[in-house]
Structure 1
Amino acid sequence: MTVTHPIGLSAPTLADPVIAEAAARFVAARRSATGLDAFPGPLPADLATAYAIQATATAAWPDEVAGWKVARVPPALEEALGAMRYIGPIFAGTVEAADGGALSFPVIAGGFGAVEAEFAVRIAADAPADKLDYSPAEAAAFIAAVHAAVEVAGGPLAPVNELGPTASTAVFGNNSGLIVGEEIAGGIEGADALRAEVLIGGQSVGVGSAAKLPGGIAAAVAVALRMAVRLGRPLKAGQWVSTGALTGVHSIAIGQQARITFTGLAPMSGTAVAAVPAA
């Protein structure tokens, strides 16, 4: 497996064969829907190394990238890692439109699964391949629409949350899919006025809003624009950016039911199901 090195980041602190082995293990585990009880090899100490694993695995995955999820680096680690957020790929085959019916949240048995209430942005235009930095104001120009959404987080690595953001970044950004709900009237301003809530097993596990996103929705999109081009995959018109958890990361086990609501919009409800091996 050929290692992909992101553009404009520091050199990875793990050797290419080690990066390639971790990426191959993640690809194999996701394809076979098999859980991993430990990180396959040394845990990356920095995001540059984690992104190299992610990019190498993404290049080997048999599906197109349809967008990117954005997630927070815990504040206590921001200085050490030099970042407030990280991103991970959302594959085309895992994007689903909510149509009012019952949803399924795939979880790898022996891995990790979660649901998150998020705002998903549809990208308006292709981003330049040679622009590496964006302000939130510049990013706002790439927003065609804002939708209520559910990120189906997780993957094969069971202790991913305990291992921290470098592990999450490395293992496909800890993303299993994106469920796109209703478009929000008024775009960012309309989304800023909404309140989200997640219930699992009928019990409320989190309430929040765009106020939980540092700098707001446009700041999250700016990070996706900056990092996607560094990963050699600049954002394209029609792709999605899932901008970050509004109420928290809510673990869900196979068989559990979840209901995600946004003020005034149709709820999105479903059940966690066992992920099946990829074709």
Structure 2
Amino acid sequence: MTEQTEAVARAFVTARRAARALETYPGERPTDMALAYAIQDRAIAIDGRPVTGWKVGRINRPHDARLGSNRLAGPIFANTVVDATVNPDPAMPVFVGGFAAAEAELLLHVAPGWDGTVPVDDAGTRVLLDDVRLGIEIASSPYPGINADGPAVTASDFGNNAGLVIGAALEGWQAIDLCAILVRTQIDGATIGEATAATMLDGPYGAVRFLLANLAGRGIDASAGLWVSTGAITGVHPVLPGQAVRAMFGDHGAVDCHIVPAAGAA
């Protein structure tokens, strides 16, 4: 831990609590994933909220070779998760003046009791799961350059996560090819992205394996179970307060939410 790591972590936590934009990165930008996760880990400790899951995002070329990883991870705090089966069109806050986007994602739940052993294939990964849902990740940060500055910067501020909408269960998921589901994302009724998870490296199960290895390497206990938001399928789509987002998963259903400005904590 360095003074710089501490200062950046505190600046991001303070800005998120106040729903205040940061015009510039609050310190020296991390250039490797070790420093990015050191900032993230310290920010999680300062923040203090329980973590109920983790988002996984892709690291594209040429950054993947330089950073030694093709994915990154960030915490999803319990109070930012909404069950859309109870609240069908939840209001999801984003940081005005910062970065804000919505991403259609498959959500995989690692059952309680994981012993720290990372599976090596899809079959071994499925054994660890007890639920698969349709979902939307809300990616938002007080810093507008969170993605433009590169993956290490993205990871340093909670992986650019600000919330998760958990939709309906994917019934019979054990027998479904998750990479064959055609996913569409709409904003205000207009389709802005369409793809399958086949474009996502080794797919949703691969995202789970990456995350478990990442958490194990960082000494983070995941034995109580956790949600994994496995990555943007149709893309990272910028959103503004007032807009409506819908993620459609072929014949399996859809998930809705609408975007609102984040409010500072009292």
TM-score scaled by length of structure 2: 0.93
Kept after mapping to 2: 8 A contact 1:115/1:152: yes
- Aligned: 1:71 with 2:53: no
Q: 2:121 & 2:237 partners in 1: Cα distance?
A: 28
Q: 1:237 offset after TM fit, Å?
A: 4.0
Q: Which amino acid aligns with 1:269?
A: D
* Alignment partner of 1:45 out of 22, 31, 51: 31
- Aligned: 1:245 with 2:258: no
Q: 1:194 offset after TM fit, Å?
A: 1.6
SS at match of 1:168: helix
Kept after mapping to 1: 8 A contact 2:134/2:255: no
Q: 1:128 offset after TM fit, Å?
A: 2.8
Q: 1:136 offset after TM fit, Å?
A: 3.1
Kept after mapping to 1: 8 A contact 2:115/2:223: no
- Aligned: 1:136 with 2:121: yes
Q: 1:200 & 1:122 partners in 2: Cα distance?
A: 27
Q: In terms of mean alpha carbon deviation, does 136-145 or 79-88 score higher?
A: 136-145
Q: 1:237 & 1:194 partners in 2: Cα distance?
A: 29
1:80 aligns to what?
Answer: 66
Q: 1:110 & 1:166 partners in 2: Cα distance?
A: 21
Q: 1:110 offset after TM fit, Å?
A: 1.1
Kept after mapping to 1: 8 A contact 2:165/2:257: no
Distance 1:253 1:50, change over 3 A: same
Q: 1:160 offset after TM fit, Å?
A: 1.1
1:61 aligns to what?
Answer: 47
* Alignment partner of 1:101 out of 88, 105, 127: 88
1:263 aligns to what?
Answer: 250
Kept after mapping to 1: 8 A contact 2:114/2:225: no
Kept after mapping to 1: 8 A contact 2:82/2:90: no
Q: Which amino acid aligns with 2:217?
A: R
Map 1:195-274 to 2 at 5 A: 195-274=182-261
SS at match of 1:162: coil
Q: Which amino acid aligns with 2:115?
A: P
Kept after mapping to 2: 8 A contact 1:67/1:235: no
Q: Percent identity?
A: 35
SS at match of 2:93: strand
Q: 1:192 offset after TM fit, Å?
A: 3.0
1:123 aligns to what?
Answer: 110
Kept after mapping to 2: 8 A contact 1:44/1:50: yes
- Aligned: 1:26 with 2:30: no
SS at match of 1:74: coil
1:177 aligns to what?
Answer: 163
Q: 2:257 & 2:12 partners in 1: Cα distance?
A: 27
Kept after mapping to 2: 8 A contact 1:188/1:217: no
Kept after mapping to 2: 8 A contact 1:124/1:237: yes
Distance 1:189 1:77, change over 3 A: farther
SS at match of 2:148: helix
Kept after mapping to 2: 8 A contact 1:27/1:60: yes
Q: Any unmatched runs of 5+ in structure 1?
A: 4-15
Moved over 6 A (4+): none
Q: 2:175 & 2:146 partners in 1: Cα distance?
A: 34
